A and B are shown apart, each in its own frame.
Chain A
Amino acid sequence: QKEVEQNSGPLSVPEGAIASLNCTYSDRGSQSFFWYRQYSGKSPELIMFIYSNGDKEDGRFTAQLNKASQYVSLLIRDSQPSDSATYLCAQGPGGTSYGKLTFGQGTILTVHP
């Protein structure tokens, strides 16, 4: 059983629209959640991390965390073609351990002009 599940893609949205990426996780002990973006042929790079229930906004990006539902999402407002990439959701370790992230399979996003 996968510990981190992402909504199946690929996801295609028109330029200027809101892209919604979703992720569920199974480890209730996780305290930290991450969204990484990976362009084709490149390495993953961090977009945002979130620790607390609710929303966290950074520019056009909003991460939402609901620990009761074990759900984390990423909203991209005013999507641009440059946002086209694979988005990886990751959860941090539960308990007192540190460092190990578990990644989902990724969702491919295409923003078309």
Chain B
Amino acid sequence: DAGVIQSPRHEVTEMGQEVTLRCKPISGHDYLFWYRQTMMRGLELLIYFNNNVPIDDSGMPEDRFSAKMPNASFSTLKIQPSEPRDSAVYFCASNSDRGSETQYFGPGTRLLVL
């Protein structure tokens, strides 16, 4: 299996621009998670889906952030408009409820908003 796939790996954009991050979970996994990691705040859960349905979005910082999962193999995290404080590494992770609660992380998208 190819593991969790994220794109792009790096993104540099200017304040006010729309940013879309993409994730393909491991095939067969029922859960998909979006995290943000910064030095100050550590690894924070933003939102997670079960069977393509958002379960908990309490970690989404504000209305500028939105996430979708139109099918079992694809999810997006969108920031519109982006701000410099959104600069972070964004990880996608997935797991299956047929095993342990182990989450498998993608390589991350390093976002810099200028």
Binding site for B on A (CB under 8 A): 32, 34, 42-46, 49, 88, 92-93, 98-106
Contact = CB atoms under 8 A, between A and B. Distances in A.
Contacts, number: 52
A44 B105 contact: yes
A92 B101 contact: yes
Interface stretch (B16-24, B42-50, B65-73, B80-88): B42-50
Residue in A34, A42, A100 whose Cβ sees the most chain B Cβ within 10 Å: A100
Nearest to A4: B42
Given A44-B43, A106-B42, A99 B97 contact: yes
A26 B97 CA distance: 24
Main secondary structure of the interface of B (DSSP, over half): strand
A105 B42 CA distance: 5
Interface of B: 31, 33, 42-43, 45, 48, 50, 55-56, 91, 95, 97, 100-108
Contact of B45 (A44, A49, A101): A101
B31 A43 contact: no
B98 to A, nearest CB: 11
Contact of B101 (A43, A45, A99): A99
A40 B106 CA distance: 15
Contacts of B91: 43-44
Given A49-B102, A99-B95, 5 more contacts: A43-B108, A49-B101, A99-B31, A102-B45, A103-B45
Contact of B48 (A46, A100, A103): A100
A44 B35 CA distance: 11
A100 B56 contact: yes
A101 B101 contact: yes
A42 B108 CA distance: 8
Nearest to A2: B42
A98 B97 contact: yes
A42 B31 CA distance: 21
Contacts of A103: 42-43, 45
Contacts of B55: 99-100
Given A100-B45, A101-B45, A104-B42, A43 B106 contact: yes
